[in-house]
């Protein structure tokens, strides 16, 4: 398994990957929703605000992850991990966790302070994320599942409460994703 930085030439393959994975697990409507999110992230987000990574098996993309900028009011450099997908026939092999670890290491090297995600605590805790309260870091939109609000420090510092609002990139700024 190889991991690399997402290249815009991979856009259509990656959009199809997300659509297929989420259609298989959550139904066709969810697949289309997440496929559209990925398309919007790729086409509307400034390069400095979006970091993507792919997992390759025999030169075929079998996984992808995106991190996009989360703007906080106190000059902490933060990104949010969303979404991540591993092709259905490659799941259960640790590829998603390895891909997340690859992305986290890259972001650490880029001087990013804080990562946030919104998802299954059981899965994301395996890659260093911990539950946080909405009082600690206010999410950009209302959470339908507050227990899924997770974070990790990339500096080794304790995550202190951050006053004020947070803002995500435009592609992610839709209640349907939260």
Which DSSP string corresponds to 91-126? TTSSHHHHHHHHHHHHHHHTT--EEEEES-HHHHGG
DSSP string, 26-93: H-HHHHHHHHHHHHHHHHHS-GGGEEEEEEEETTEEEEEEEEEEEEETTS-EEEEEEEEEE-GGGTTS
pLDDT at position 77: 94
The residues with which 173 forms a beta bridge, in sequence order, are none
- Ranges of residues in the chain whose predicted pLDDT is under 70: none
Straight-line distance from the first to the last Cα atom of the chain, in angstroms, rounded to the nearest whole number: 31
| 65 touches 124 (CB < 8 A) | no
pLDDT in tens, 31-43: 999 999 999 999 9
pLDDT at position 73: 85
For residues 81 and 94, what is the distance between their CA atoms, to the nearest angstrom? Answer: 17
pLDDT at position 74: 82
For residues 100 and 108, what is the distance between their CA atoms, to the nearest angstrom? Answer: 12
């Amino acid at each position: 398994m190889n991991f690399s930085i997402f290249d815009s030439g991979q856009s259509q393959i990656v959009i199809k990957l997300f659509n297929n994975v989420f259609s298989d697990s959550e139904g066709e409507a969810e697949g289309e929703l997440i496929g559209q999110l990925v398309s919007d992230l790729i086409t509307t987000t400034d390069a400095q605000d979006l970091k993507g990574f792919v997992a390759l098996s025999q030169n075929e993309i079998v996984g992808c992850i995106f991190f996009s900028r989360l703007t906080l009011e106190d000059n902490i450099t933060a990104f949010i991990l969303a979404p991540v997908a591993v092709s259905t026939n490659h799941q259960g092999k640790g590829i998603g966790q390895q891909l997340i670890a690859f992305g986290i290491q890259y972001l650490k090297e880029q001087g990013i302070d804080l990562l946030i995600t919104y998802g299954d605590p059981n899965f994301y805790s395996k890659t260093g994320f911990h539950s946080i309260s909405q009082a600690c870091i206010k999410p950009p939109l209302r959470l339908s599942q507050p227990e899924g609000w997770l974070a990790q420090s990339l500096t080794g510092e304790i995550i202190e409460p951050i006053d004020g609002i947070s803002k995500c990139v435009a592609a992610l700024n839709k209640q349907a994703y939260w």
